[in-house]
A and B are shown apart, each in its own frame.
Chain A
């Protein structure tokens, strides 16, 4: 997971998963996202970087309509997933969120057992016909969350009793269990220590095989380590979007360069 592995960054062939065109977001009178257009590829890790308050988390939350839960928030423009407008009135946000999973900044396991945490999504979406199938789904999800070996003997222990890094991997497993197509991660490592961060990053790299992963991060090293494409946000504008290697080695916009070299942010 070290440097800029250019070979793995050959993403041109990948299909576009998410297309955003002219997205504007308002919190009351505050114009939080200004005319953002971006195309996010399938089976790729896309990183959103930028200083605090630049709108990267807000934009991420638009992708699964989590902003609907904030009453003063208003979204304009088009966001398409697989060429389907997710803000179309016919789209059920609840169904959409099953397809677009999300992992949050702070690990937020439910106050239930580890098993029930992972089984929560499959249960409410009726993904398992019986207990054996559910067991299978849970085991698969925990294995993909790279936490199975640590918890397989205590699936009935409360999820809140795990360490911070384990909790975050449990949350990733929980998100994976509903078989989403896109996985959104909002600073998933900001509450974790370096070792747990490394584990989660390794996991993100593996998840790329099956999902389109979008990750918001404050750490530019992390963006450089895990992503193939990077978008730089500043004051609600998408300043620059391109290959991660390009952005970090040869940015076009002076603001991007200033941020990456530590002069703004």
Chain B
């Protein structure tokens, strides 16, 4: 029975348990709910919870663990064939699983009978041909070991599934029965459900944290693998970036970091003044009616997908810049060779960040107490004097935090760079030249046929890790500043 069906049955059991528990609770007081400790629905919810939660958790754990255990059990059978490296072992094992899946499919479609699939020998039957008939293509002929391992895998996994069905349903039933038996007028179902709620919420929080941890760990493992293949000093201090999958590539991060920082600085130079001034206008000068209209309009900018900004950079801003700064342009300087340049990406990224800066700064400026403004105005200061000398200094830490958050977004931005800044990793001061960033290079290293044991592919993880550390640092710094600011007024 498939996991989906098991889950549905468990849920049906829980629903039945709800009705049963409710009924039993009511029966225990002869229908007078006042004598119950909790509302009747709590007794029902208690039974449903006891039936569903442990069973579903067990189901999920079983589904995760079963393939691992089966691998362990089958692996010794082909140990003699490919006792090579871990990488090869996993290749063989995936072959085994493929054959096993193919046999399943063949049985489902009636090409093979169950007994045939179980007893098939690789020397008497052409397994590869049989399986390709049912739509499972194999790379090579199936060896005897692989076939027998696959057959064993099939047998084990069907036993496992059967066992899983029985155990999960038994747990669900047991939970439902115990909870139903416990349902009595004095049973504190409300408190138990409350406790269950808490556990559920804790579980959700843990899930988020564990996922983050998992992502970081996978980054770290792959980064360590990369540094085993490629010297760390060349990576951190290398001045050239020229990966070649044939080997002999130089993977220095400095040109990429330089491109990232250059583009981010230009983006912030655009976004911070405009965003900040817009925020000051919105919070200090605009009438409520204008504000109610302008603020959502500004925030629409934040809803545009970055790929659309990328198109804007590629099709509009790039050509425009070329017509001014390019060969024979209005400015007559000929600095710019093509539409893709640091300037193009930086300007567009700046536009993307404007709503980010303005909306955060607006909130922070609004948090400055009105009494502060009154104090300044009451002394005969004008509005702009008040903003410049009282409101902004008071809001400064928060604004710095907002800018740092915007900076960490700029550093992590990919699509605008891919489309707007080009792909050449260069160390140059000219903002009209094409350069590239860490994120864009991660994309280009992993797209296409990547061999995950070569440093050229693994470097993507090291780049990701570097980026992660930088943005994490920026975010922590920004949050620290914002929090410090909040303490001032609350």
Contact = CB atoms under 8 A, between A and B. Distances in A.
A242 to B, nearest CB: 28
B374 A104 contact: yes
Interface string A91-110: 00011111101101010111
B375 A104 contact: yes
Most A CB within 10 A of own CB, among B371, B375, B393: B375
B378 A66 contact: yes
Contact of A171 (B287, B375, B381, B389): B375
B7 interface: no
A102 to B, nearest CB: 4
A94 B378 contact: no
Given A106-B371, A108-B369, A120-B389, A66 B377 contact: yes
Given A110-B390, A111-B393, A98 B374 contact: no
A152 interface: no
A111 B377 CA distance: 15
B140 interface: no
Nearest to B287: A71
Contacts of B382: 94
The B interface, classified by DSSP as helix, strand, loop or mixed, is helix
B398 to A, nearest CB: 12
Contacts of A111: 372, 393-394, 488
Classify chain B's interface size.
20 to 34
A244 interface: no
A64 B378 contact: yes
A164 interface: no
Interface in B352-388: 369, 371-382, 385
A102 B374 CA distance: 9
A217 interface: no
A124 B377 contact: no
A30 interface: no
Contacts of B379: 97-98, 101-102, 120-121, 124, 174-175, 178
Contact of A125 (B371, B380, B488): B380
A97 B378 contact: yes
Contacts of A110: 372, 375-376, 389-390, 393-394
Interface in B269-292: 287-288
A190 interface: no
B374 A108 contact: yes
A94 B372 contact: no
Contacts of A109: 375
Contacts of A14: none
A97 B377 contact: yes
Contacts of B393: 110-112
A46 to B, nearest CB: 18
Given A71-B287, A124-B385, A160-B488, A108 B371 contact: yes
Nearest to B396: A111
Interface of B: 287-288, 369, 371-382, 385, 389-390, 393-394, 488
14 contacts: A66-B374, A66-B377, A66-B378, A69-B377, A94-B382, A97-B379, A102-B374, A104-B371, A108-B375, A111-B372, A112-B393, A121-B379, A160-B488, A175-B378
3 A-B pairs with the lowest CB-CB distances in the bound complex, closest first = A98-B380, A102-B378, A108-B371
